[in-house]
């Protein structure tokens, strides 16, 4: 028996009191990290 077999088909949990973040807001939140990663790559070259 797989150790996750009992939970693999359960629906994904979503909080009731908070709406899901839009894709644009999520992208804006993580965009600065993408710029840092690119600058690290350029610094190594």
Q: What is the mean pLDDT of residues 28-44?
A: 67
Contact status, residue 14 vs residue 20, Cβ threshold 8 Å = yes
The structure's pTM equals: 0.38
CA dist., res. 6 & res. 36, Å (int): 40
Provide DSSP, 1-45. Answer: --TTTTTTTSPPP--SSSPPPPHHHHHHHHHHHHHHHHHHHHHH-
Higher per-residue pLDDT: 40 or 31: 31
What phi and psi values does residue 12 have, to the nearest 5 degrees? Answer: -65, 135
Q: Report the pLDDT averaged over residues 11-18.
A: 89
28 Cβ contact partners less than 8 Å away, ≥ 6 residues apart: none
């Amino acid at each position: 028996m797989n150790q996750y077999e009992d939970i693999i088909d359960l629906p994904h949990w979503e909080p009731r009191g908070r709406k899901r973040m839009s894709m644009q807001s999520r992208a804006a939140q993580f965009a600065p990290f993408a710029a840092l990663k690119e600058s690290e790559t350029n610094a190594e070259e």
